[in-house]
Structure 1
């Protein structure tokens, strides 16, 4: 670091932010922890950099870029201080609790558990897909362990956008050559302009680094002998393709990599059946209410039992710590029998998880479920909002009553910052005219009326027809489980 840290413990920035400690030092900046004097108890992270000359990675560029981004894996920017007379600039952003991947890697002694390694890759692909699909695309360019935060819930956050840039179709190569040796793509050193495939090279370098316990970040002779024994052999061609020198020979998009990772079987159960774990493509369906009392739990249960009847292994999760809905279902389902003390019970083949939190999600994703259905209720907090946004299929439940139809529009407007391409909207008991009206208002065809379905546990032909249409694409991607009876028929 060529420039000394300007701030110290107790320093006051902008008359509002009091420095608590220094969090870290990078090649071009310092990061501090600060308390907000206007919002007692609120903690922010402040990045201090020095601008000497105009260059593509300036703080002004980073601030403008970050304030335009909205994704749960990216930090929120709340304040920016332009360069002072000495060139010092300050960026005030969301404080993310946790460890850098570099620190977590050391804590695991170079061997992050495979379930977490795969989840890490999928989360990174999630945020890279968001960045690369912006117009113009945003290229991160510095995917390395020290720029990735791991929260206590094992959630991923990218924390440093110092050399990110928007893709310029008219440019032959980058104006500034930046990146971290070992993790940067060849084109970042002058052989061309960086694009989405440059970030995928960085992802490959990171994957290989974790697969070899930190020994390698590029594919060279002898690397295979250093790959951990617990890494599925099918990961090797994924890493090799990501690390091709020629960008044309790599995967061409984050979604393409994600599909390949999810295609890889997760392993063998003690019973001998090949199952789909997180590695093999557990799909998450998350339901939230545009307002209270619209039937989120009822619809979540109905979807779960529909999927089970299609011969998939399904869990439905109650993501409301104080809810008693699943507990009442368990009492009715097990009437006359002692009620177990655990949080998991089963009804007609569907596994119910009562009063679950984010800490439970990873263990369930690492199991053999093919579908996980989340009941998020209404009135989301930040954690439930992130689960909704991250789901493979986010479903908003709104009221079909005419006098309440404005609620779903208000819900969408309140979440306008987030991508909504995947969202599905369901209106229980809505008339066809109401469905058409809301499709027009939201400018999407993904609005469905749900017919009267008194018992969500039982088959209903009309409801099944709607669910089949909504879930057809997801079900087509999943092989169905083999039942005990089908196996017996083969042997008999």
Structure 2
């Protein structure tokens, strides 16, 4: 930093945030890890920045804008402290565990696969699309490896909004020309105002950097000879288009660039008719309830029994420490012997049940121990469990087919509209044909299915099996016989 950092171990910011250690610094900012006096155990990242006297109003305006952003690939900005007499400001945001793309690339360069680069491009275009479509539009302007965090599951998070700004239509050029040399668009250095296409240039520079072993960030004559040969063939012209000098020659929006990436990657993906049970990896189905009382947990258990006919090792996990349904099931399964000290994993008919499962345990569940996992995410209340839903191979929304409750499904569908999930399904327990057609028209999708009456979720009936088989017809293979040992109702 050109200015020394002010906070030290043990300092308390705003009477609440206790500084524990410095976790990063660069340019005019420093980031600390902080505890929370009001929420014991909660960790935050506190970003300390220095601004010139004339920039204080701009810094406050931008902070106010960032606090209003809400997206799974962005840290929540939960608090802001205005410039002090020395010009120091503080942003308090989510602390994201993981490593930066810069560090990941430096330490694992030989292990970065072409599929990772494609997924990275897709995730970045997803969050850039959100920022660019926000009102007012937000331009990130510094899309470099050190500003991108990767979680343990290699999910993207943008972490540094030090020079992000709202787009001002009337402005001819940027007041302050900022950005990292090599990754910033040409217009960020003078003559024009940066806009959404500037971020697309930054993405192109980032992708070229990854695809050439860190050697190039600009499209110069002969650079194509240095691009790795295992990329999807259509990705190279996309990178070249993103790196056009004139903004008008690039993609007009992140949405159109994302569509191009998706099309380029599609030939490398398995055909829709391929049997997932014959492929490597764990099939993950995640169920999210549109509201309470629609039968999300009931449907998850029935789905687990259906998948157990097709996969050898199946688990169903109850997400959230406040959930209680699986505790009751465990008591019944263990003859009333289960107690607070009992293990949170128990087995019924060869299926593993995990009660009150945290995110850290979910990671281990998906690490290859099981062939298929069903995540019971409960009722959608906020974005706490949204990441698991967005990552799932089969994202399933459970809702009511009743006409007076259809607004619940519509509201949740609109909340998720910005997230590209071509395999998202909707399940309507006990809904009739009329309700099915009404909801399909309401949501404008034919991926809405009814689930028939099944009093005992541990006893998969023939109609339920047929319904699940129809829903999963492009994913699973033919079933193998499985013995039944547990009856819920008789217990």
* TM-score, length of structure 2 as denominator length: 0.69
Match of 1:29 in 2: 29
Match of 1:42 in 2: 42
> Post-superposition shift, 1:127?
0.8
Seen in structure 2, the aligned counterparts of structure 1 residues 5 and 33 have a Cα distance that, compared at 3 Å, is: same
Match of 1:147 in 2: 147
Residue correspondence of structure 1 range 291-310 to structure 2 within 5 A: 291=292, 294-295=295-296, 298=299
Match of 1:397 in 2: 398
CA contact (8 A) 2:305 2:460 kept: no
- Report SS of the residue matched to 2:241: helix
Seen in structure 2, the aligned counterparts of structure 1 residues 358 and 429 have a Cα distance that, compared at 3 Å, is: same
Seen in structure 2, the aligned counterparts of structure 1 residues 303 and 19 have a Cα distance that, compared at 3 Å, is: closer
Residue correspondence of structure 1 range 216-255 to structure 2 within 5 A: 216-255=216-255
Seen in structure 2, the aligned counterparts of structure 1 residues 459 and 239 have a Cα distance that, compared at 3 Å, is: farther
CA contact (8 A) 2:286 2:377 kept: no
Q: Does 1:357 align with 2:362?
A: yes
> Post-superposition shift, 1:257?
2.4
* CA distance in 2: counterparts of 1:361 and 1:251, whole angstroms: 36
CA contact (8 A) 2:101 2:146 kept: yes
Identify the range of structure 1 (391-400 vs 448-457) with the bigger mean alpha-carbon deviation.
448-457
> Post-superposition shift, 1:114?
2.6
> Post-superposition shift, 1:141?
1.0
The CA RMSD over aligned residues, in Å, is: 5.0
> Post-superposition shift, 1:157?
0.7
Match of 1:161 in 2: 161
* CA distance in 2: counterparts of 1:419 and 1:196, whole angstroms: 22
Seen in structure 2, the aligned counterparts of structure 1 residues 56 and 115 have a Cα distance that, compared at 3 Å, is: farther
Match of 2:193 in 1: 193
Seen in structure 2, the aligned counterparts of structure 1 residues 166 and 106 have a Cα distance that, compared at 3 Å, is: same
What residue ranges of structure 1 are gaps of 5+ in the alignment? 277-282, 306-314, 325-351, 484-492
Seen in structure 2, the aligned counterparts of structure 1 residues 180 and 456 have a Cα distance that, compared at 3 Å, is: farther
Match of 1:119 in 2: 119
Seen in structure 2, the aligned counterparts of structure 1 residues 231 and 444 have a Cα distance that, compared at 3 Å, is: closer
CA contact (8 A) 1:200 1:251 kept: yes
What residue ranges of structure 2 are gaps of 5+ in the alignment? 277-282, 307-312, 320-324, 328-350, 355-360, 479-491
> Post-superposition shift, 1:427?
3.5
> Post-superposition shift, 1:58?
4.5
Match of 2:481 in 1: none
CA contact (8 A) 1:396 1:424 kept: yes
Residue correspondence of structure 1 range 255-270 to structure 2 within 5 A: 255-263=255-263, 264-265=265-266, 267=268
CA contact (8 A) 2:145 2:206 kept: yes
Seen in structure 2, the aligned counterparts of structure 1 residues 391 and 167 have a Cα distance that, compared at 3 Å, is: farther
